[in-house]
Structure 1
Amino acid sequence: MSSSNQSGVDSPFQLFDRAEWKGLNGHFSYHLTEDDVKNLHALNEPLNITEIEEVYFPLAHLLNIFIERTKEAHSVVNGFLQKNTQRLPFIIGIAGSVAVGKSTTARVLQKVLSMLPGKPKVDLVTTDGFLYPNSVLIDRNILNRKGFPESYDTKLLLGFLSAMKSGVEKIEVPMYSHLEYDIIKEEQQVVTKPDILIVEGINVLQVNSSRVNNVFVSDYFDYSIYVDAREADIMKWYVDRFESLRATSFQNPDSYFHRYADMNKQESVAMATNIWNEINRPNLHENILPTRYRADLILEKGSHHFVKQIKIRKI
């Protein structure tokens, strides 16, 4: 284990390689089936039982330590204040680039955390639902900047998180369709008294325009995770995913990207590469990557899409 970065300068993070990390599993044991694994992974993102056991079981154990500590603090403060206030959701933020695997990490964590002692209720909300509708983005001439900070209704997102941390029992949040590439007007996700809330999105740790009245999205997090990888690997995963989607969901006439359905592989790769270079790469460098070291924990992936090492902020 090392507590220094590659340059030898003292770091606020402790570094664990895969072998060290999997030995920290502790006493929790879970049972997941192959069907569970199939339901958790996303397109072009390999996932297996070994990855869950060696990476996510120890992570769930660590998170449970913080969750239990928060419960104890709530009880002690209630005693001091002579109040009997309800315990608020423990909120986990998950950030990282497009195509790095945030959604899979979020879904796996939701599943594993729901199997902790006491079987907590774990809800998952993605910030895609807080994007402005396409009609608004078109009016503002920023449709080609979807995913950049200005494309999100930050006020709405902060209002949701504030409600969660204010004890609101039930709240509806917008839902996003990747098929339609837009907010679904007639559907809402209902979040009702979760014990743990996972908020996943590329923008959740940003501090530039992701604030209202100097309140940041991350101010509401009890713990934050950044999913990281080499840019060359992320770009390859993005291009590969685009090609897979071209051959599958883009074939649906209702897909926003149906116009790409008849491309051959060479054209598809060229288009995906162009989108990456013009949109996703600038967003990564300007807005996402600078937030990496604001996280409490960093999952670093290798070229095979599996986690190879973990950095944990010292406390």
Structure 2
Amino acid sequence: MAFQKYPASALLPLLEEIAAPIRSRALQMVLADMGAIDAKEFTEIYLPLAALVHFQIMAVRSVRQKVALLSGPSPVSAPFIIGLAGSVAAGKSTLARLLQHALAAWPEHERVALITSDGFLHPNRILEERNLLDRKGFPESFDQERLVDFLLRLKSGEREVGAPIYSHVHYDVGEEVLTLAAPDIVIIEGINMLQQQVSLAGEAHLSASDFIDYSIYLHADETIIQEWFAARFLALIAAARDTPQSFYNRFVPLSDSERRGVIEFVWRNINGKNLKEHILPTRGRADMILHKQADHQIAYLELRNL
């Protein structure tokens, strides 16, 4: 077996490995940024998960120090890159923010940057030119070369690297860029983070997954994810009621049944199809798989055997 299964409760003993000041600082940061979260869940689930990643980071640094004894200190200081994958609406963004604050509590890696691979989608105008608007989110809709170049620059030790930002309001990639300045850790979340790039001729190319130091896949049953997607879609429509420039404003005049029809169409032809064909098959490449219940609680996790 490639993975070992653990109940979420198995994480609790790891709290003893986390100093009290780190636990306190992590909780303060996440409450300040995310407001009303379940402090008990964060402390007993997400903080121990972050500790597992912290141990990986320290192990990598230890190996680098040993290698430096052979060749001398390297002038390159590259960040530790965490890839977070999973379906649309699985909760990747929330998990990424929780891990960001938890990991930043350790003094060994306080600078934790968070980006989404959505920023590396081709702009809508290009997708339209290539007749790919209905394939948005599928592998061919991403600018893979730009994503690989971004990760390569990070791993080459460049002090400042810019990441494009995706606007969910405009449903498009804009001109705005998030500048990452010498981060210790970069968390990049997206549906495509564990996919391998292959050309039409079947030739392998560098993929985002080639640059990831530790990967996490967020999993739930498809029926549950579809319900989460519907709830999010309806919430975005409600939020767009007084925002004409929002992509979701066009759905405001529709009846409830018409909105449900749009949701079912999008899931059946885009998100659900993409999940089955391109996202779920990458789950086995992850180092950690988190299994969520309908209430968003982590039921159990799987860790790749060392």
TM range (shorter): over 0.9
Match of 2:179 in 1: 190
Match of 2:248 in 1: 257
Q: Which whole-Å CA distance do the structure 1 matches of 2:28 and 2:68 have between them?
A: 43
Q: Which whole-Å CA distance do the structure 2 matches of 1:197 and 1:47 have between them?
A: 23
Match of 2:34 in 1: 40
Match of 2:92 in 1: 102
Match of 1:204 in 2: 193
Q: Which whole-Å CA distance do the structure 1 matches of 2:105 and 2:203 have between them?
A: 35
TM-score by length of 2: 0.92
| Cα deviation 1:222-269 (Å, max 9, x = unaligned) | 100000000000000001111111111354101012110122333222
Greater shift after overlay, 27-36 or 70-79? 27-36
| Contact 1:243–1:265 (Cα < 8 Å) also in 2 | no
| Contact 2:197–2:205 (Cα < 8 Å) also in 1 | no
Give me the identity figure in percent. 38
Match of 2:39 in 1: 49
Match of 1:17 in 2: 7
2:131 paired with 1:141: yes
Q: Which whole-Å CA distance do the structure 1 matches of 2:258 and 2:16 have between them?
A: 49
TM-score by length of 1: 0.90
Cα deviation for residue 300 of structure 1 reads 0.5
The partner residue of 1:297 within 274, 283, 288 is: 288
Cα deviation for residue 213 of structure 1 reads 5.7
What does residue range 213-252 of structure 1 map to in structure 2 within 5 Å? 214-249=205-240, 251-252=242-243
| Contact 1:37–1:47 (Cα < 8 Å) also in 2 | yes
- Mark the CA change 1:143 to 1:38 in structure 2 (over 3 Å): closer, same or farther: farther
| Contact 1:18–1:307 (Cα < 8 Å) also in 2 | yes
- Mark the CA change 1:286 to 1:164 in structure 2 (over 3 Å): closer, same or farther: same
Match of 1:85 in 2: 75
2:302 paired with 1:308: no
Cα deviation for residue 50 of structure 1 reads 2.2
Q: CA RMSD in A?
A: 2.0
| Cα deviation 1:259-281 (Å, max 9, x = unaligned) | 10122333222211211111101
**More helix per residue:** 2
Cα deviation for residue 34 of structure 1 reads 8.1
Paired residue total? 300
Q: Which whole-Å CA distance do the structure 1 matches of 2:273 and 2:161 have between them?
A: 34
Cα deviation for residue 212 of structure 1 reads 8.7
| Contact 2:193–2:209 (Cα < 8 Å) also in 1 | yes
Match of 1:112 in 2: 102
| Contact 2:197–2:207 (Cα < 8 Å) also in 1 | no
Match of 2:115 in 1: 125
Q: Secondary structure at the match of 1:164?
A: helix
Q: Which whole-Å CA distance do the structure 1 matches of 2:109 and 2:158 have between them?
A: 21
Cα deviation for residue 101 of structure 1 reads 0.3
Match of 1:157 in 2: 147
| Contact 2:144–2:207 (Cα < 8 Å) also in 1 | no
Unmatched runs of 5 consecutive residues or more in structure 1: 1-10
Q: Secondary structure at the match of 1:276?
A: helix
Q: Which whole-Å CA distance do the structure 1 matches of 2:135 and 2:37 have between them?
A: 30
The partner residue of 1:277 within 268, 277, 281 is: 268
- Mark the CA change 1:127 to 1:36 in structure 2 (over 3 Å): closer, same or farther: same
Cα deviation for residue 37 of structure 1 reads 4.0
Cα deviation for residue 40 of structure 1 reads 3.4
Q: Which whole-Å CA distance do the structure 2 matches of 1:302 and 1:286 have between them?
A: 22
Q: Which whole-Å CA distance do the structure 1 matches of 2:37 and 2:105 have between them?
A: 19
Q: Which whole-Å CA distance do the structure 2 matches of 1:298 and 1:90 have between them?
A: 19
Q: Which whole-Å CA distance do the structure 2 matches of 1:162 and 1:209 have between them?
A: 18
Q: Which whole-Å CA distance do the structure 1 matches of 2:83 and 2:241 have between them?
A: 30
